[in-house]
């Protein structure tokens, strides 16, 4: 009985030593211990977020870069917006006033820019140049894809099959969607041996 207890104690101490070694290795490999990771998460949560067009933009970002976080706003559109509204591009987003935020939202909804900066030119239904953003952009995109599928165009067929639409080669790429297709090797009939 005494030998069995001694073996159990030795194995327990061995396990403790191994866990300590693993803990030291993890600290060396990953850098920060778990407590400091929690602190960085808390800092991120305490960071000021500015909400424009139902999109959260970090307050530490410059307006020029922060506006591109909004779906439907490109770099060139953001630049034109800053120039048209006379807002400094290098100003931080947390420094924006409520009036400026309202101006930005109104400008994104109804931009007064040349047609080449808008993202929906000559709309099929109205024939006018539009600029779509956030949920409207997603909605119109899905309607366009459904229309292409309905009229059975080449692009619509490619969308429905899940293959690339814009003429890319498919011999080596685009294999991850759906079933994995590879080279099939015929097995020899007969006994293994």
Q: What's the pLDDT at 19?
A: 67
Rounded to a whole number, what is the distance in angstroms from the first to the last CA of the chain? 52
Q: What's the pLDDT at 22?
A: 61
Tokens of 75: 């770099």
Asked whether residue 111 is assigned to any structural domain, the reply reads: yes
Domain hosting 99: range is 46-117
* Whether residue 103 is found in the same domain as residue 162: no
What is the 3 state secondary structure string of 123-181? Answer: CCCCCCCECCCCHHHHHHHHHHHHHHHHCCCHHHHHHHHCCCCCCCCCCCCCCCCCCCC
* Whether residue 85 is found in the same domain as residue 141: no
Asked whether residue 129 is assigned to any structural domain, the reply reads: no
* Whether residue 113 is found in the same domain as residue 153: no
The answer to whether the beta carbons of residues 72 and 133 sit under 8 Å apart is yes
Q: Which of the listed residues 117, 151, 178 is the one where a domain comes to its end?
A: 117
Q: What's the pLDDT at 134?
A: 86
Tokens of 33: 């211990």
pLDDT along the chain (193 residues), means of 10: 64 70 58 60 68 88 91 92 92 91 92 89 87 88 92 92 87 70 66 58
| Number of domains within the chain | 2
The answer to whether the beta carbons of residues 62 and 92 sit under 8 Å apart is yes
* Whether residue 55 is found in the same domain as residue 104: yes
Q: What's the pLDDT at 27?
A: 57
* 144: exposed, middle or buried (Cβ count in 10 Å: 0-12, 13-18, 19+): middle
Q: What's the pLDDT at 178?
A: 57
Q: Is 55 left (phi over 0), alpha (psi -120 to 50) or beta?
A: beta
Asked whether residue 100 is assigned to any structural domain, the reply reads: yes
Asked whether residue 139 is assigned to any structural domain, the reply reads: yes
Q: What's the pLDDT at 189?
A: 72
Tokens of 34: 């778990």
* Whether residue 112 is found in the same domain as residue 80: yes
CATH of the domain at 54: 1.10.8.50
Asked whether residue 107 is assigned to any structural domain, the reply reads: yes
pLDDT in tens, 49-91: 888 888 889 988 899 999 999 998 999 999 999 999 999 999 9
Tokens of 191: 């006994």
Asked whether residue 104 is assigned to any structural domain, the reply reads: yes
């Amino acid at each position: 009985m005494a030998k069995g207890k001694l073996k159990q104690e030795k194995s327990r101490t061995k396990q403790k030593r191994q866990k300590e070694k693993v803990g030291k290795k993890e600290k060396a490999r990953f850098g920060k211990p778990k407590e400091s990771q929690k602190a960085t998460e808390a800092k991120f949560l305490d960071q000021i977020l500015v909400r424009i067009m139902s999109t959260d933009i970090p307050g530490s970002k410059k307006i020029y870069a922060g506006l591109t976080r909004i779906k439907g706003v490109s770099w060139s559109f953001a630049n034109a917006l800053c120039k048209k509204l006379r807002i400094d591009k290098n100003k931080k987003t947390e420094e924006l006033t409520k009036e400026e935020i309202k101006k930005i939202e109104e400008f994104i909804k109804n931009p007064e820019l040349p047609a080449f900066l808008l993202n929906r030119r000559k709309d099929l239904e109205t024939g006018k140049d539009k600029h779509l953003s956030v949920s409207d952009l997603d909605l119109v995109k899905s309607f366009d894809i459904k229309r292409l599928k309905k009229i059975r165009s080449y692009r619509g067929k490619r969308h429905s099959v899940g293959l690339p639409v814009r003429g890319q080669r498919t011999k080596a790429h685009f294999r991850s969607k759906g079933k994995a297709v590879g080279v099939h090797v015929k097995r020899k009939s007969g006994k293994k041996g």
